[in-house]
Structure 1
Amino acid sequence: MPRFKAAWLLLFGCTVLEAYRSSMSLNWCAEQPVCDYRRPHVRIEQPGFRRRIRGRMTLADDGGDKPQPSPLQEVSSRACRDSSMDRRTLLLPALFFACSSSLLRPLEALAQPPRTVMWPPFAPTSGYSRDGPPWGRKFRAPTGTGTGEQGVRRAVSDLVSKDYKTAGALLRLAFHDAISRDTESGEGGANGSILWELGRQENYGLYGAVDVLEPIHSMGGLSWADTIAVAGSQAVTSSGGPYIQVQLGREDAKVPDPQNLTRPVGKCDEALVAGGGRDCRGVAEKTIPGAGLNSDGLRNFFGRFGFSDEEVVALMGGHTIGRFSSLLGVPKECLRNLGDRWLECLPLGERLPFTKDPDSFTNSYYKYLLLWYDRSITPGDAHFLPSDVVIVVDDAFRRHVQAFADDEKLFFRTFEKAYTRLVSIGA
């Protein structure tokens, strides 16, 4: 900043010197050619050209290049000096002070080291900007005003009681923040980096969850990573699920987690696609599992963290609360180029619940999956993604789906264990 202050003083000094020089030019009005104010680079020296100086009119005669005093009123050198002072001494400093802040701001930004964070150029809420959330740039928890984990839990419980739809969003926020780890490079995990990843397609719709957590984080005295993990746990509890103890002490990241895996896990199967195509649904390529993964893809993705089949099925049970953005209601012209227009198209689609009761954490998700598998489900009772369906189509996964559908307490115990491992990734 000292160098910018020096530049500011240098510019100010140049402006003052220019004003002083102008004030000493007594014959400026009479000796300088006239310039078109709309085109400053064009010199106008034509007969009969009129110009105003502090309300006085001068008229160039028909035969000379030098302006002559108007017959209506004599223009003295004193008037010319005063007018030059009026134009140069007052106008230039005024313009300088008006523009100095806007000129120095981009200069200061250029002098800063390049940012490694990613923030979307769009902002659904007014509190966001291109440079990141104003409350998350330093990633420093407030001191002296925090109320700890229990304060966060009470605030989240009160929030969910007022709007049950918030529970699914908070649980999804915790999952996406924790699971985005590249085990090959050792980067990512439950570190609060989701704040810098909200512009990614897979994180669409999580702005609102971050927005409602901001005041809770401000008063909680916890890191963003801990706040998100505790909020996801309490969202489950407030929706009727088990109480999940969360170990604290996570540090906040200052850069986004990787979006793609350094080394994809799995291989494409060319034998299952007619016409020589490739079926790559079993390949895990990103740090967030895609909705189109098949059973092999789910195992390849979660197996990197040591999750068992039972724990994978339990984590998928988080879909018992919440909704997803479907393509129902999206115009055809938008669907034709969905890859490039996803941000524009998805808000046009209908928000569908996974189960008939999307605001209660129960084992109904598994019961509806079994009904779908038996082709006995009532249309409209449940809506599933391809990754939901594969856990009931695969024989090994379906065994756990059946067990959780029969025993809700078993589901709760397994989910509690899996969630605890989830929010400990990279911590």
Structure 2
Amino acid sequence: MKIQAVKGTRDFYPPQMRLHNWILEGWKEVSLRNGFEEYDGPIFEHLKMYEQKSGEEIAEQLFSFEDRGGRGLAIRPEITPTLARMVNQRINALPKPIKWFSVPRVCRAERPQKGRLREFYQWNIDIIGVEDIVADAEVILCSVDYLRQTGLTEKDIVVKISSRKMLGKLLEACEIEQELHTGIYAALDKKAKIPEDAFEKLLEEKLPDQDKREKLLEIFATKQLSDLQENLQYSSEAAEAIDELIRLFSLLKSMGISEYCEFDIGIVRGLAYYTGTVFEIHDREGELRAICGGGRFDSLLKDFGGPSIPATGMGMGDCVLEILLREKGIISEEMPKPPVNYFIAVMDDELVETAAGLAAKLRLAGLSAEFSYKKAKMKKLMKQASETGAEKSIILGGEYIENKQIVLKNMETSEQRTVDYKQFCDELKYSEPNQENSEK
């Protein structure tokens, strides 16, 4: 029986793995550059943790099971609840602020579609212990820093920013009951994805009162923060939340990334734990799902039994990102292999063991090396060497058999010279690991 990969998962053959590693290594490099430390947690947690804290959408997408003791467990659909649990366990010992990042593999039991799979990788960065909006600005900066590093510009991507706190205060100012807020957020989250009449119908289901609904539609039509500030009547608490967003945009301008950022009142994020600033990064054409999203979740640690402590962060999945990078021509399957320092060409079958031993000596000296497993003609061997991307070739043939000498060939210039095998190996003993012996 021929077995296929499970729908919604991916096989990473070597060319795809090179692309995958390029993305993940970039995430790690930028995280470290921005002052974040790496962490990770278990691939499964107690089921109740996700059911209670991740919001209805995530809870419905869990791969869950019972262990042998009858305990309900679930494969992680995200890592933020794990972060909260881990921080709470050592809250008094951890220095503040906490700036952590992770690149977990996560799973969600949903219908696979473009940019959304059942199994994927997600880059998470979080700052815990900073109440000021400057932490939110730093999270956005780090996200944009990575995307800029890949080659994407402000013409390719846009950071859409809003505030759950501001929306909540505006709903209160419109005298909309607290119990209706979650449903309105869910409707607003779909606004950009469905036709206008479908959105109005959905909003009517969530908010039957026509007068209040018309007030909300007027608010939702706002394009600029200044318009919201000048033209609408709202409470002082709503005004404070708007002022906080204005300061965020000022910080982003000071950081030099304002051209990437814009206000969008329709950004609410689907997860239940967001309490303040929220943002998503999209392609400018709006043809793909969000590349990443995040915001402030000041109540999350408290919800997990810890202290009340401010927190903000973001998550970026690799699926939509890879699609966009391919469409922009930034990555392709032709990404080169890592260079090989030496390729050992065997021209006589009795020298295969010698080649294997020499390859081991080179590798133990911190150099990369490959060798041919059987003899071949020179033309074929040099083709193999070129295909590996080797910088130099070592030719084992008649010279070695007769005089214990090897031929060194520079693959770029085609220059070659004959050297004593023992002397070559003796010099390798003094090579530092992970440093290329460029004189050989």
* Bin of the TM-score, shorter chain as denominator length: under 0.3
Higher strand share: 2
Compute the TM-score of the two structures, normalised by the length of structure 1.
Answer: 0.26
Compute the TM-score of the two structures, normalised by the length of structure 2.
Answer: 0.26
**Structure having the higher Rg:** 1
